[in-house]
Amino acid sequence: MEGLRPQYSEAPLVRRLVEQGIRDPRVLAAFGRVPRRFFVPEEAQAYAEGDHPLEIGYGQTISQPYIVAAMTEALDLQGHERVLEVGTGSGYQTAILAELLPLGSTVRTIEIVPELSLRAERTLTELGYDNVRFRVDDGAKGWPEAAPYDAILVAAAPDEVPAALLDQLAPGGRLVIPVGPDPEHQELQLWRKRPGTGALDRKVLMHVRFVPLTGPENLH
């Protein structure tokens, strides 16, 4: 979605991301258009522009801007992809992804906590995003009826990569996902599915700390 709030520019945040090594101009422009304060609880508003995670309730967090940017950049979006997000959370990452797609393209996003999904949908609707589709479900299952996806981003850490998400990657598709049961020893991994053979390549991008990818016990 292009130009949601052209009058808004979070210049200090964008400069900080550049200093931290983010280079994709489209990713940086998206961060300049999406005010993070709209995605955090009222009591955390004063800290919204800091480069650190914040609690958003229900045991979940909004990731620090650098991690959101690094994961988005690793997807290498060109603006024509079919995109799936697992772990809607606050909707901040969702908005960044939606900014990178043209009119007519859709981001599908799954959240296990109904209250968070509803809150994120309300926020994104109020901000004018009409290219996002929401689902409350176990994200490890993916969204199979809309597969395959050119890009999948997972915003919570499973013990190991769910096979369903790898199966739902299109040829040439990319999956960015934190992996590991111990928050002290999690890896942010980039998976690519080779065109033709369907073989999978894995690359470790960095060490990270994410909340766990929770299962159907959180559906109620």
Residue 9 designated active-site:
no
Structurally, the chain folds into a number of domains equal to 1
Is 179 inside a domain boundary? yes
Q: What is the mean pLDDT of residues 214-219?
A: 62
**Domain assignment of residue 114, yes or no:** yes
**Kind of pairing, strands 200-208 and 149-154?**
unpaired
Length of the chain measured in residues: 220
Helix (H, G, I), strand (E, B) or coil at 152: strand
The catalytically annotated residue of 9, 63, 90, 117 is 63
For position 9, what pLDDT does the model report? 58
Say if 212 falls within a structural domain: yes
In a domain, 3, yes or no: no
Distance CA 73, CA 78 (A): 10
Residue 1, in any domain of the structure? no
Decide if pLDDT at 5 tops 60.
Answer: no
CA nearest 178: which of 214, 203, 154? 154
CATH number of the domain that residue 134 is part of: 3.40.50.150
Phi, psi of 114, deg, nearest 5: -55, -40
The answer to whether residue 69 sits within a structural domain is yes
Name the DSSP class of 63.
Answer: P
Q: Which range marks the domain in which residue 150 is found?
A: 11-218
pLDDT beyond 50 at 6: no
Packed helices 92-99 and 25-33: angle between N→C axes, nearest 10 degrees = 130
In a domain, 5, yes or no: no
Full-model pTM: 0.92
Mean pLDDT, range 156-175, rounded to an integer: 97
Q: Looking at the domain assignment, is residue 4 inside a domain? A: no
